[in-house]
Structure 1
Amino acid sequence: MLQFDTFQKFSKDGMDAAMTSFGALSRGIQSAAVEAVDYAKRSFEQGSQTVEKLAGARTLDTAVEIQGEYLRAAYENFVAQATKMGELAAATAKEAYAPVETLVVKARAA
């Protein structure tokens, strides 16, 4: 009877850990989606502003300068966004794994 109770508690703890992990994973994916949409909006707006500036450029030198500024800013924004998404993914993985890790520690102790 003791083994059945132990198994039942372990099963319940496993289900609780899985649900907590899935919740953390879900929140992380939602956060990543919001970040991706915000980045896409900012990139589109930045591109639109650059096209407007290019349309108003009077000389080739000015157009090249505007394009260079755009490329530099777009690259910096991309690197910043990639770093942010990487940090978000790492934090999500850590949060989602924490309940499982606790369960494994408990199982080893038993």
Structure 2
Amino acid sequence: MMNFDSTSKMSKEAMDSMLTTVSSMTKGFQRIAAETTEYSKKSYEDGAAAAEKLVSAKSLDKAIEIQTDYAKTAYESFVAQATKMSELYADLAKEAYKPFETAVAKVSA
């Protein structure tokens, strides 16, 4: 009977760890999706604004200046977004691993 109780307790702990991991992963993916949506929307709006400026440019020099400014801004925005996304994925991995970290500490102690 003691072995059954021990096995039952371990199974419950494993299930709790799995559910905690799934919950934290779901929250992490929701944050990532929200961030991606927000970046996509802003990127589209910035591109549309740059296109409007290009259409209204009076000279070739002004059009090149507008395009250069847009390219620089888009690149900086992309790099910032890539950094933010990598941080979100790293946080997701850390949160997903926490329940198993606790279980491994219990087993090795």
Q: TM-score, normalised by structure 2?
A: 0.97
Q: Output the CA distance in 1 between the equivalents of 2:44 and 2:11.
A: 49
The 4+ residue runs of structure 1 with deviation greater than 2 A are none
Residues 66-75 or 1-10, more deviating: 1-10
The letter of the residue matching 2:38 is: D
1:21 paired to 2:21? yes
- The percent identity for this pair of structures is 50
Deviation at 1:40, TM superposition (A): 0.4
Deviation at 1:3, TM superposition (A): 2.0
Runs of 5+ consecutive residues of structure 1 not aligned to the other structure: none
The letter of the residue matching 1:50 is: A
Structure 2 residue aligned with 1:67: 67
1:99 paired to 2:103? no
1:1-110 equivalent positions in 2, closer than 5 A: 1-109=1-109
Q: Output the CA distance in 1 between the equivalents of 2:53 and 2:23.
A: 45
Post-superposition CA distance 1:20-76 (Å, at most 9, x none): 000000000010000000000000000000001001101101000000000000000
SS in 2 for 1:58: coil
SS in 1 for 2:18: helix
Q: Output the CA distance in 2 between the equivalents of 1:89 and 1:3.
A: 40
Report the count of equivalent residues: 109
Runs of 5+ consecutive residues of structure 2 not aligned to the other structure: none
RMSD: 0.8
Post-superposition CA distance 1:3-32 (Å, at most 9, x none): 221111111000000000000000000100
Q: Output the CA distance in 1 between the equivalents of 2:106 and 2:5.
A: 15
